[in-house]
A and B are shown apart, each in its own frame.
Chain A
């Protein structure tokens, strides 16, 4: 019972993180997520073959994540949320393996094991890794660390050598067929078996290593040669059909400083965010600190290498830290060729650098334990554990701040995804303004969003026309404290507007603003879909600036929108009033802003005037419109055999409440 309570306490960060992730997860594809459109279409067409499944996405052979996507589509409804659950599940499995490793490292020391497990889980489940937890493609990213921990736990276990070989092989295969980071595991297993003192008789070790070399060759040779290692992804640094960029070693001599800065950025990222200083200024120093801490652990291990038992306890963590350093170095070398050095601070790289921090902490704990038992000076014996406790307290307090920053990061991610959902709904009618929420350029997202929609896996489906009635319309205007149309002006026949909009129920910025008017049939049609780009929310206390006369940021800073309506769009309208609507793309609902724009024709040209109150919002005849209304059913669904269900697009589009339609909170 006590053990169960300790385990629950140690894993309480996982429970908290699950709640936070669940709250912020949304089913909106972003960037590489859109690649599934091609995969699902090939599967539907029957043209999917092992070549495509095995083909590189940039330079990553992602067979395993692709299979997960297909499994999700065949057994379920192919929701992106399913893969986000899988990601979290893999991290939970990784955390359990870390717990097993800790038990192997500190046998009989329950308090140490549970304490370090708690600390490890605070790091592993930190919301600071929002780009991992909320980005469905990252089933790729979390697999190598899982495989790493599985390999280390297996090698430290009492399993037979054949079982160890098999499990290590499966783990390395899973990892290297998920993401390129997994390639390092083939070398890691080899090194671990060479260095592990208690592996077994020399003969067994030699056989194991020989067999491992053989399978490594059998796996890695095809990895780099099949189909010319050519990229097949639309989201890549190279074109489709071009060889994967890899480490770009040929250009490395010219960019060594940038590569080093990039390396420092990745390593320093876990400690760089602090709400006051620019992380780019902090990261190089925290990187040095972390490397120094790991170096201390390595130096201690080398100093005490003759103690076989201690060595075998340190080895998994040396391997973990080494894996993180090597992987971060490889990323820095390869990606500094295409990105600036501060790209190393992107949150998803924390999923790698966190393991260096974790390994360093455990190695330091082993150092404290070892020196503490051997030191002759009583003061040193007493001081070391206290130093460790001081460090643990500082680390946990700092992580509390990181969790807060992570929650804010999740909130911004979610807001951006919901805004891009609004933009995607109208992708065939209005060009998205902030294309980089979907991809590098519009070309690939436009193609793939439509492909995903055609296969029936885009939720909600793309809107067939620009009628507003595809959203549920709540006619109650928003309060001026939440939303306002602040400026409307004509500039050479183009109407420019500006304002701000927040959804009061959720306290978040709106997921976009739609401008509508009535067409000749009396229907409200959308003439512009405006996206919002606000400053991420920060709380600035007014009390700190009473005598400074500063401008405190408000909704104009956090939730602004601006846009233009060209003359040809305005020409579609039959009325001279434009209404603005704040979009809630999660509930598929719109609410009007408190002002509307009246277009007044003058001799000098049209003039825009802001007027308080709703404009001519109601449809003239007031009747429900055919093929309109919220909650369009998914148009296609797929069975396990790949048969396509009847194409609903060919049928009269009536709002059909379907049990197949997934609703999201």
Chain B
């Protein structure tokens, strides 16, 4: 019973992760998700980046065929992959620590805190990116298999299957071929030397065949010689350290690009220290076998960070800080945990009783470090949850833009499409293909009315309002803010409507929100400073430019604004309204708030 409770506690981050993914996942395509339109048409064009992604494509096809392209299912799959990774890591921990006490469950808890870190939101909440997580799961599963009591051929088959699948999922899956070879060469669970040699020989042959096949026919193979950072080792180190330290660098106090390299260097130092411990005892097979999986996992993270530094996009500003890379960098920290625990446990048996200070340090130091790590990772969870919220808000805003895509061009294609160099025409074509096949969960606005939205309750003035309207150069410039109090998030867009001659509301503009993602600025910290504490007028700001030819022809036109909730498909009227008078000199506009006598 006690063990079951400890196990549940150790896996509580998994439960929290599940809730977060379920809460924040939305079925709205972004970036590479739109390439499924090509799959619908039967096209299997190679990935523009030279990647072999057959398995993600097959899964996408299966999703299209059987589940109507519900992207949230693939987000769930991403979660399942991480859960599988967590189980494999737990298995490795049990084997490594060879005990079932607080040390095992405490270490497992910390590992799960890292594995389910919400800062990986780009991989959890983006269907195309879900497969980024597969290679790591495959690595952990392979290491678990290789250290097991299975027969050699069973280990070979499992690893071959995993390596092949990983290679056909994401580019960094290719690293599995090297890792398995290293584990086979250095690990002890092979019995006779002949069995090991046989394994390695066949594996090498399979690796050569797989990599050759992988390289054939790729449209644009990765060219390391074009890597900008190859001749600048310090730049490679900086990129790599930034990538590895990224999970702990977001504090809003200091630019993450300045803090991340320091954390990355700390992580590297911890890992190297853990790896170097007991170097002279490397010949002890049992000692080596307990540490090998973690050395390989840490090396996996380190190696990938270096390869990313050598990639063609390495010069792109801010690249190593991309949230998706957290799924790689966390393995350096994760691997350092059991290596440190092993070193401490070993030292405790070897330090003489007379060294009281050192013994006390070994006794309590790990708990102290665990406390510090808990707080650091805990803050990372908060940052990640915030990032998930921003991502979800952006996707819901994209959904609103998609509803009106045929009528209004999105102000920023990055949010709605996200593919490099994509055009509005390409997006419209992709939407048409997917919607035509029933593969897009989207109700389109075919008419000029408010359909497909339902009307909801008006927003209070402090949550949603039109702040300013100006008429100049033949158009109206309106700004305001819109926050959905019931959903505790900014609106997913603002619709501007005008009544036509028959009195029906006609949508004349869609205002997108271009919010500023500011954290709460506590006003009590600035009572003597008169610092500006941003409110919803900045964190949920919208702006609309309405050409005069969109207005109905009338002596006086009343405009109403509605905050969009594209999750519930509801519209909530904003407090103020605008009255526009076309004159000979142009337009004049007047803002009417309820407190000014404007009616609602």
Contacts and interface: CB of A to CB of B under 8 A. Distances in A.
Which interface residue of A275, A408, A434 has the most chain B CB atoms within 10 A? A275
Contact of B369 (A393, A401, A546): A393
B322 interface: yes
Contacts of A404: 251, 253-254
Interface string B513-541: 01111111111111111111110001001
A533 B532 CA distance: 6
A550 B390 contact: yes
A453 B274 CA distance: 64
B250 A538 contact: no
A364 to B, nearest CB: 13
A546 B530 contact: no
Which interface residue of A273, A278, A540, A549 has the most chain B CB atoms within 10 A? A549
Contacts of B363: 385-386
Interface string B353-387: 00001001001110111111111100100110111
Interface in A386-418: 386-398, 401, 404-405, 407-409, 412-413, 415-416
Contacts of A387: 367
A543 B318 contact: yes
B315 interface: no
B187 interface: no
A536 B371 contact: no
A342 B418 CA distance: 42
Contacts of B541: 551
A388 B371 CA distance: 10
B514 A551 contact: yes
B530 A434 contact: yes
Contacts of B418: 547
A274 interface: yes
B394 A548 contact: yes
A443 interface: no
A542 interface: yes
Contacts of A392: 368, 371
B455 to A, nearest CB: 27
A389 B518 contact: no
Contacts of A405: 253
B390 A546 contact: no
Contact of B370 (A390, A539, A543): A390
Contact of B390 (A280, A539, A548, A557): A548
B368 A393 contact: yes
Contact of B522 (A280, A388, A407): A280
Contact of A398 (B254, B357, B375, B386): B375
Given A274-B379, A412-B526, A549 B253 contact: no
A650 interface: no
A31 interface: yes
Contact of A393 (B317, B323, B370, B528): B370
A346 B527 contact: yes
A279 B525 CA distance: 10
Contact of B516 (A131, A539, A557): A557
A547 B319 contact: no
B529 A413 contact: yes
B391 interface: yes
Given A540-B517, A553-B518, A397 B375 contact: yes
A541 interface: yes
Chain B's interface size range is 35 or more
B321 interface: yes
A544 interface: yes
B414 interface: yes
Interface in B228-275: 250-257
A550 B517 contact: yes
A394 B318 contact: no
B372 A276 contact: no
A275 B528 contact: no
B108 interface: no
Nearest to B517: A550
Interface string B405-425: 000000110110010000000
Interface string A269-287: 0000111111110000000
A242 to B, nearest CB: 23
Which interface residue of B375, B387, B521 has the most chain A CB atoms within 10 A? B375
Contacts of B515: 550-551
Contacts of B379: 274-276, 401
B30 interface: yes
A535 B532 contact: yes
A546 B126 CA distance: 13
B431 interface: no
B339 interface: no
Given A434-B530, A536-B531, A396 B372 contact: yes
A599 interface: no
A343 interface: yes
B251 A533 contact: no
Contact of B386 (A276, A347, A542): A276
A547 B386 CA distance: 15
Nearest to A433: B530
Given A394-B371, A398-B375, A547-B31, A534 B517 contact: no
A414 to B, nearest CB: 10
Contacts of B385: 276
Nearest to A554: B516
Interface string A550-580: 1111000100000000000000000000000
A393 B521 contact: no
A154 interface: no
A542 B318 contact: yes
A551 B512 CA distance: 12
A287 B560 CA distance: 45
Given A390-B371, A394-B371, A541 B318 contact: yes
A278 B520 contact: yes
Interface string B88-129: 000000000000001000000000000000000000000000
A57 interface: no
Contact of A413 (B365, B375, B382, B528): B528
A275 B519 contact: yes
Contacts of A413: 528-529
Contact of B519 (A276, A383, A434, A547): A276
A258 interface: no
A391 B371 contact: yes
Interface string A510-552: 0000000000000000000001011110111111111111111
A347 B252 contact: no
A546 B519 CA distance: 18
A30 B528 CA distance: 8
Contacts of B512: 549
B371 A393 contact: yes
Given A437-B529, A549-B394, A549-B412, A343 B524 contact: yes
A350 to B, nearest CB: 11
A78 to B, nearest CB: 22
Contact of A535 (B254, B256, B534): B534
Nearest to B533: A535
Nearest to A265: B524
B317 to A, nearest CB: 8
A397 B531 contact: no
A390 to B, nearest CB: 4
A587 interface: no
Given A547-B31, A550-B515, 9 more contacts: A386-B364, A389-B368, A395-B371, A415-B529, A416-B526, A533-B532, A534-B532, A535-B532, A541-B250
> A-B pairs with the 3 shortest C-beta distances?
A393-B371, A416-B529, A394-B371
Interface of A: 30-31, 111, 131, 135, 273-280, 342-347, 383, 385-398, 401, 404-405, 407-409, 412-413, 415-416, 434, 436-437, 531, 533-536, 538-553, 557
23 contacts: A30-B528, A135-B528, A278-B520, A343-B527, A345-B522, A388-B364, A389-B365, A390-B368, A392-B368, A416-B528, A434-B530, A535-B533, A535-B534, A538-B252, A539-B253, A548-B390, A548-B393, A549-B514, A550-B390, A550-B516, A551-B514, A551-B516, A553-B518
